Chains A and B, each alone.
Chain A
Amino acid sequence: MCAAPVPAPSPTAPIVARCQELFDDLDFGAARRWKAAAPGRKVVAFMPVYAPRELVHAAGMLPLGIMGAGESLEVIHGDAYYQSYICRIPRSTLELGITGRLDFVDGFLFPSLCDVIRNLSGIWKLLFPKVYVRYLDVPQNFTPGMADEFWVHELQELREGLGKLAGVEITDDALRDSIAVYNENRRVVREVYAYRAAEPWQAPSSDVYLLMRAGLVLPVEEHTRLLRDWLAAARSEKRQRRDNTRIVLNGVFCEQPPLGLIKAIEMAGCYVVDDDFMLVNRLLIGDVPVEGDPLANLSTAYLTRSEETASKYQPDQAAKGQYIVDAVRRNGAEGVIFAAPSFCDPALLERPMLEERLDRVDVPYIGFKYAENSAQMQPVREQAGTFADSIKLWSTP
């Protein structure tokens, strides 16, 4: 490339910088400020991958997504609770708790993602008896009509628990309003993903990542605005398009890789056109109906129209793993990178089944493991780079 003119300040930069700040802040200043802004406000945290945030929102509380503590927190106490052969996210989450970084959190929801998160709910109950802790046994029986009643009932118990915590009654109307607010958020989230898939050079994956992370700590209305602003800004700038390979990233739904890993993948010549980061933002597909019984609507949405992921059972053998092929096709990807947290049973047991699917349709893939504090990016660059190389060099021009 010849001497480029001094680049104009990027209009997306300040938005991304704000998200980066939120991301870096392990004291959750934004949520703390929200809470302090009005008396009686409460914050309810939740773990990946799905929590009915509408219920928290409808009670006037702030849902706060916790994704571990990333790479910068030195874990000192967490190791007292977890052996070396258990993934990192529960220990760094505990570290956040023990060091008082979550002392403003009034409730904590642990969805049934895996046994580690499940058991963390018990640990939380023992260690933080003042916090409203609830384990969400999200149904795994997807046979029509089988789990609705159960789940609506569980949601009702949750609604009562949250209502008590907030000191309000969560009315159907409040719930309907919240559903509408989240519907809007889900739409914009999908728009961002679609935009990136269409023009990935315009939307660096680390930027999109930070935007989605912001959704876990900001009030939903603010997040929706932020995404809109970013889309407008991104569309107004022209970025250099590189000779990169388009890939789908899979397996990153719970413990998060360090930001550097996402950047390393892109630097090594890959455009990420789809991923499963922060699934909670878009687990439900399409709008949840606002009319009618809100709990039933939420339940039906989850049971019949939600994204597939390793932590959900697929009742139909023939359909098992098809979602990864669909993601490749839908987004025009040339390959798949499986990245999974070390010791993550859901992601690692899912992987061979997905690989088999991809083999059948000749989509190339690679896979590796990471931890939220993985330091060496060299092996990642090496593998992602070789992957991109081989697709690039062997594709017919």
Chain B
Amino acid sequence: MKCFIGIDLGSTTTKAVVMDDGGKQLGRGITNSRSNYDTAAAVSKQEALIDARFTLFRRGLEGEAALAGRVDAFLAELERNFRHVQFLEQLDDLEATGVRHGAGLRFAGQEKPLRAALGEVFRQLRAESEGIFAPGAKRKSDFFRDIAGSRFMALGDAVCKEAGLSFDLLLNVYDKSIIEVENRPPAGAMEGKFLRALEKTLGATGQAAANGVAHRVQAALAIPLEEAYVVGTGYGRVRLPFPKEHIRSEILCHGLGAHIMYAGTRTVLDIGGQDTKAIQVDPDGIVENFQMNDRCAAGCGRYLGYIADEMQMGLHELGPMAMKSTRSLRINSTCTVFAGAELRDRLALGDKREDVLAGLHRAIILRAMSIISRSGGIRDQFTFTGGVAKNEAAVRELTKLVRENYGQVTININPDSIYTGALGGAEFARRAVQV
């Protein structure tokens, strides 16, 4: 089957979308952006293709009587198992890499205990991985680095204490290895992993039903996913190993992506990690005008990230905390760093955290309003995309300001809006072949 792929290489995350030739989304994938753009692009693409397989499984299983009413649950289970298999594979890689690094010169004289400690940590990690991927378990993140990293720290610390080994050594080995593992292009064959996951999932099912299900899943697996056309976009697009005609401006992709999600979109605001863009599109999704901020963190996602660090909070906790505020304080500093200092001053002076936070959210949105305004203002419908669209307090401030200044326009916010650029890219890929 012909696939059209859009890859959005962002400053923080890389996103990919796979589309079929009818313009239907088959799958989406995301990974953290890293210095090796090829890998980031390859990983996100692979993730999207994996996701596409699940779409095909679903299509295949729709008519399967044995799973009547249970398709969702079955697929969820299958996915969990698949992720687990994938996780274990990457763990193996990490361990092997670690062992190799542990034998390095830096650790002369310590190789043995280090190797033993590594072995122990990975044994424990494998053992508890079952739990991490158990049904209903909440994972910290979808990225291997985050999941493995946090558990490695916790387990490693204990193991080192036990063994009388400096944890810094182990940490150093980890730091070296994770970068290598992360930057290794993903292993090719997915089929084996699917089959292992399938086996495990079916283990819980009755034999007869299992045969039918396995048959259909295998049939879906056999459908070749042919990469008909790939389009790259985003902040890092020029460094993608693509020929020029496969690269599209991120602005155009965002515009078109937003148009696909909400056909009535005329104005798009995208607040990502390093930049904020306001885009005006025509009724066909073609960009008419746009504005972006320059290289200053004030007013984009990193602003919130910085503030979260400053307050020792998680990024996802900021919004909910700011929502509790009853009066928003005015933040005077433009600069992110000065805003951080102002925040400390204000807290020291007895202002409430939530009020200060609300002020900070207002500040970032005000800056976005100014960029929107420079791009030509807001027209109905207005679509808000990018990572910050996940932040409810930002959404609240934005909604308020839009209402006050532009009246009752429709405001679209989609939890998957982080894929907007990649979606636009995929559509461009499709059009490149079809038009």
Instruction: State the A residues within 8 Å of B (CB).
Output: 74-80, 375-376
Contact = CB atoms under 8 A, between A and B. Distances in A.
Given A75-B370, A76-B401, A77-B373, 4 more contacts: A76-B405, A79-B374, A80-B375, A375-B332
A261 to B, nearest CB: 12
Give the size range of B's interface with the partner.
Answer: 10 to 19
Interface in B249-286: none
B143 interface: no
A80 B373 contact: yes
A357 B338 CA distance: 37
Given A77-B377, A77-B405, A375 B333 contact: yes
Contacts of A77: 373, 377, 405
A119 to B, nearest CB: 17
Nearest to B293: A84
Contacts of B369: 76
B238 interface: no
A271 to B, nearest CB: 26
B60 interface: no
A74 B366 CA distance: 8
A376 B333 contact: yes
A342 to B, nearest CB: 12
A375 B374 contact: no
Given A74-B366, A376-B338, A80 B333 contact: no
**Residue in B332, B334, B375 with the greatest tally of chain A CB atoms within 10 Å:** B332
A79 B333 contact: no
Contacts of B375: 80
A74 B405 CA distance: 11
Contact of A79 (B332, B334, B370, B401): B370
Nearest to B375: A80
A176 to B, nearest CB: 47
Interface in B203-239: none
Contacts of A79: 370-371, 373-374
B376 interface: yes
Contacts of B376: 80
Residues of A contacting B: mostly: loop
Contact of A376 (B332, B366, B405): B332
A222 to B, nearest CB: 33
Interface in B332-390: 332-334, 338, 366, 369-371, 373-377
Contacts, number: 27
A385 to B, nearest CB: 19
27 contacts: A74-B366, A75-B370, A76-B366, A76-B369, A76-B370, A76-B373, A76-B401, A76-B405, A77-B373, A77-B377, A77-B405, A78-B373, A79-B370, A79-B371, A79-B373, A79-B374, A80-B373, A80-B374, A80-B375, A80-B376, A80-B377, A375-B332, A375-B333, A375-B334, A376-B332, A376-B333, A376-B338
A76 B376 CA distance: 11
A78 B405 CA distance: 12
B404 to A, nearest CB: 8
Contacts of A78: 373
**Residue in B366, B373, B375, B401 with the greatest tally of chain A CB atoms within 10 Å:** B373
Nearest to B406: A76
A80 B373 CA distance: 5
A79 B405 CA distance: 13
A66 B35 CA distance: 52
B338 to A, nearest CB: 7
A256 to B, nearest CB: 17
A242 to B, nearest CB: 26
Contacts of A376: 332-333, 338
A79 B371 CA distance: 8
A123 to B, nearest CB: 15
B10 to A, nearest CB: 24
**Residue in B338, B366, B370, B376 with the greatest tally of chain A CB atoms within 10 Å:** B370
Going nearest first, the 3 A-B pairs with the smallest beta carbon separation are: A375-B332, A79-B370, A80-B373
Nearest to B401: A76
Nearest to A373: B332
Nearest to B377: A80
A76 B369 CA distance: 6
A79 B278 CA distance: 13
A364 to B, nearest CB: 29
Nearest to B367: A79
Contacts of A375: 332-334
A95 B366 CA distance: 14
A91 to B, nearest CB: 10
Contacts of B334: 375
A376 B376 CA distance: 30
Nearest to B405: A76
Contacts of B373: 76-80
B280 to A, nearest CB: 11
A395 B400 CA distance: 56
A80 B379 CA distance: 14
Nearest to B404: A76
Contacts of A74: 366
A76 B377 CA distance: 9
A83 to B, nearest CB: 8
A76 B373 CA distance: 7
